[in-house]
Amino acid sequence: MVNKPLQNPQQPIDPALRTPAFDAHGAAQTLHAVIPAAGRGQRFDPDAASLAKAKQYHDLAGKAVIVRSIEALLAVARIDCVWVVLAPGDQEGPQRLAEALSKAKGRLRICHLGGAERRDSVLAGVKLAVHAGADWVMVHDAARPLVSRQALDRLISSCFSLGSGGILALPVVDTVKRARPDRDGLPREQSTTDHAMTDWAINDQAATDQAATAQTFIEQTMARERLWLAQTPQLFPAQRLIQA
């Protein structure tokens, strides 16, 4: 079991690959990215019992999904280093990342310090980034390979100019309902006309379950104007992530 970075955290980054980043006051900032990749992604593939079948290792146009995600981050010159946090004992990751690692010239580093939960892997990566001198850390999902360079540049510029953290997000376009499991407190006409069947109530496998006859009652239609779908990456001052 490997419990240390596979590449020396102190290995210098090729200066020719760096583009200096500055905050609103003109102070130079060091920006690292962390990709937690210790999970199996069983929501994506319920049969992903082994790490070799994890969603980040699925093929996307000839490359693993995680490699595409890494390439998207490395395309941004202001990102000094990308840390990939793998699960202990993950032998698939180093094989899939070998080519990217050889081309990154010190800007890509991998470790086997992933935890049971995503937050554990993120924290491990953030600590490594801080130890290597990061002022800011960007956290990005391994299975989000299509983030654009323009979106990343806007996020970095906005956070640096404001001096505060931020995330990429999409406005909600669908109708969103707030629901409750009973009628108590609902207007009479609403309690008898507005209801939505729960997922398991229409699941064939649950058809014989007594709970399959239950309903979830609509309490409120949410105003979409102020609702956003959180995406990654998320970018924050490194110490704020450590303290979170």
Report the candidate in 39, 140, 38 with the shortest Cα–Cα distance to residue 85: 38
Q: Is the pTM of this model over 0.85?
A: no
- For 232-244, the pLDDT digits (tens) are 999 999 999 998 7
Average pLDDT of the segment spanning 38-50: 58
Angle subtended at Cα 154 by Cα 151 and Cα 155, rounded to the nearest 5 degrees: 85
Supply 104's token pair.
Answer: 């990154």
Domains of the chain as residue ranges with CATH: 15-165+233-243 (3.90.550.10), 177-221 (no CATH)
- For 167-187, the pLDDT digits (tens) are 999 999 999 988 877 767 665
Report the candidate in 221, 217, 129, 209 with the shortest Cα–Cα distance to residue 175: 221
Beta pairing, strands 177-180 & 215-221: antiparallel
pLDDT for residue 59 = 85
Average pLDDT of the segment spanning 58-85: 94
Distances (CA, A) of 94 to 64, 145, 147, 149: 12, 18, 23, 25
